[in-house]
């Protein structure tokens, strides 16, 4: 019997037009009625998830934002992981070589050095205005507060992202988790922060066993949680590598892949 379902948002729960189908809303309601824990697990910041959670009735459930770097229940933090200042400085210097804009996320705030098409695109999915601030100012604030960002997002052409990832991963293998959430987005977090670690943290908190969970996702940052879950489900729009890691491949996000998969595995 399944006791928890972990669902990625973009490319999984949401259709390409960023809407949620009535079938998806209905299946989530039925999961709740059957006392099954439903957890949104996303690369999005919390403020980009809360409107969705509210729409589908999950505002009081656990939410794992920023690829698991910031986890809340009823909007109260239960886990947080930040990137060390010394590593941030190294990353910033290295990434200047690629002329790739960086976005820094910290809890419910997000920062960049300048506005551009990429920040404008991200702003469309969140109600919280971006804070434009020179990097050195941000660095000074983080040093004073003895903290740092939960996540750094690098946005560039797919070939550039691939080059950056191949460069950074071996150098920071024991310090950072580095994933693509889509070909043009590179997500950088502390080694403690990942979707699989978020799943492990939450099921331990709720005394749920690994074999009692389902995880659904569509991209490389979902692969580990799909592999870990008792039943891991890849979307029909997922890359082949992610599909190969799954127990089952469902329909695409535009064709109600989430409710169709859940109806197959859970007797509702």
User: Hey, which residues are catalytic here?
Assistant: 8
Residue 222's alpha-carbon distances to 70, 242, 246, 263, in angstroms, are 16, 8, 10, 21
CB neighbour list of residue 124: distance below 8 Å, 6 or more residues apart: none
Alpha helices in the chain (DSSP H): 22-33, 46-55, 85-95, 117-123, 135-145, 158-171, 195-205, 223-228, 240-245, 257-265
Q: Tokens 């459930």 belong to which residue?
A: 61
Give 248's strand partners: 233
Phi, psi of 169 (to 5 degrees): -55, -50
Give 132's strand partners: 112
Alpha helices in 108-151 (DSSP H): 117-123, 135-145
CB neighbour list of residue 224: distance below 8 Å, 6 or more residues apart: 194, 195, 196
Give 102's strand partners: 154
Sign of the CA dihedral with 203 first, then 204, 207, and 208 last = positive
């Amino acid at each position: 019997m399944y006791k928890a379902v972990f669902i990625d948002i973009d490319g999984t729960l949401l259709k390409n037009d960023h809407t949620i189908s009535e079938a998806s809303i209905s299946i989530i309601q039925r999961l709740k009625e059957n006392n099954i824990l439903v957890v949104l697990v996303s690369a999005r910041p919390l403020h980009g998830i809360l409107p969705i959670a509210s729409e589908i009735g999950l505002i009081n459930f656990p939410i794992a934002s920023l690829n698991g770097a910031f986890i809340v229940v009823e909007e109260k933090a239960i886990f947080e992981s930040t990137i060390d200042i010394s590593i941030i400085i190294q990353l910033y210097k290295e990434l200047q070589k690629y002329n790739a804009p960086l976005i820094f996320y910290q809890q419910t705030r997000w920062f960049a050095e300048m506005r551009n098409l990429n920040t404008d695109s991200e702003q469309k999915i969140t109600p919280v205005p971006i804070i434009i601030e020179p990097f050195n100012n941000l660095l000074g604030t983080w040093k004073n507060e003895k903290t740092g960002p939960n996540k750094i997002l690098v946005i560039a052409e797919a070939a550039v992202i691939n080059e950056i990832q191949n460069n950074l991963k071996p150098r920071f293998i024991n310090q950072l988790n580095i994933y693509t959430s889509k070909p043009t987005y590179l997500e950088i977090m502390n080694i403690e922060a990942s979707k699989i670690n978020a799943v492990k943290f939450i099921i331990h908190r709720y005394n749920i066993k690994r074999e009692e969970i389902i995880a659904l996702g569509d991209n490389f940052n979902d692969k580990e949680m799909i592999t870990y879950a008792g039943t891991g489900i890849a979307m029909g729009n997922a890359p082949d590598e992610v599909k190969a890691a799954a127990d089952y491949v469902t329909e695409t996000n535009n064709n109600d892949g989430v409710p169709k998969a859940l109806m197959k595995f859970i007797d509702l």
